[in-house]
Structure formats: C-alpha cells, structure tokens
Amino acid sequence: MDIGRMAVVKCARCGAEKEGFERAPFPGAMGARILEGTCRDCWAAWLKQQTMLINHYGLNVMDAQARQFLTRNMEAFLFKAGQQDDVDTSKQGTITH
C-alpha cells in the first residue's frame, strides 16, 4: 500500500466507498467513528452545515451547550442518528428548544 494514500471507507451518510481520512478530523470516540465511516465529501458537507448552524443560531462555540448542539447535529448529519435541527429562522439566536 502506498504510504501517501488515504484509506477507503464505506460512508455511513452517502453509502459510497470513497476516500476517508489518515487521522480523525474530530477528537474522541466521535472522531474514531468519523474516521471509520465518513468520506471526505460528506465531512466537507458537514462543515458547511455546521457553519450555517453557527451563524444562524448565533452560537458561541466556546459555550458547552453550543458544542453539544453541534455534536448532536453532526451525528445526525453524518450517521443519520437522531434528529437534525434545520435552519429555522423563528429560532434565530437561540438553541434552547
């Protein structure tokens, strides 16, 4: 195997076998799960969705509640687990719902 070559993963989100990561793009157990079952394309799509959520809800990523909100949405987005929050203009500026 070529050392510079990325691993191929079966992506949990899109179902395709695509290029994965050399190392987890996120810490902890969730990072290991992403490393094993998320392609780079779906990770890039999540980063765009995350930015929309941060901007829309006015999240402070230093806040623990905001990080929990984003992690829950990341899991829903990447692994189709749980409920994903939509960008809902009636809830702008708050994540308590």
Q: What is the pLDDT of residues 8-56, one digit of tens each?
A: 999 999 999 999 999 999 999 999 999 999 999 999 999 999 999 999 9
Domain count within the chain = 1
Q: What is the pLDDT of residues 13-22, one digit of tens each?
A: 999 999 999 9
Question: Is 53 part of any domain?
Answer: yes
| Structural domain of 33 | 8-91
Question: Is 2 part of any domain?
Answer: no
Check residue 71 and give its pLDDT. 95
Q: How far apart, in whole angstroms, are the C-alpha atoms of residue 35 and residue 7? A: 9
Segments in the chain forming alpha helices (H): 28-37, 40-57, 64-79
Question: Is 27 part of any domain?
Answer: yes
Question: Is 50 part of any domain?
Answer: yes
Q: What is the pLDDT of residues 61-86, one digit of tens each?
A: 999 999 999 999 999 999 987 666 76
Question: Is 76 part of any domain?
Answer: yes
Whether pTM exceeds 0.75: yes
CB 95 within 8 A of CB 57: yes
Question: Is 25 part of any domain?
Answer: yes
- pLDDT of residue 90 exceeding 80: no
Backbone angles phi, psi at 59, to 5 degrees: -75, 145
Question: Is 72 part of any domain?
Answer: yes
Q: How far apart, in whole angstroms, are the C-alpha atoms of residue 83 and residue 23? A: 27
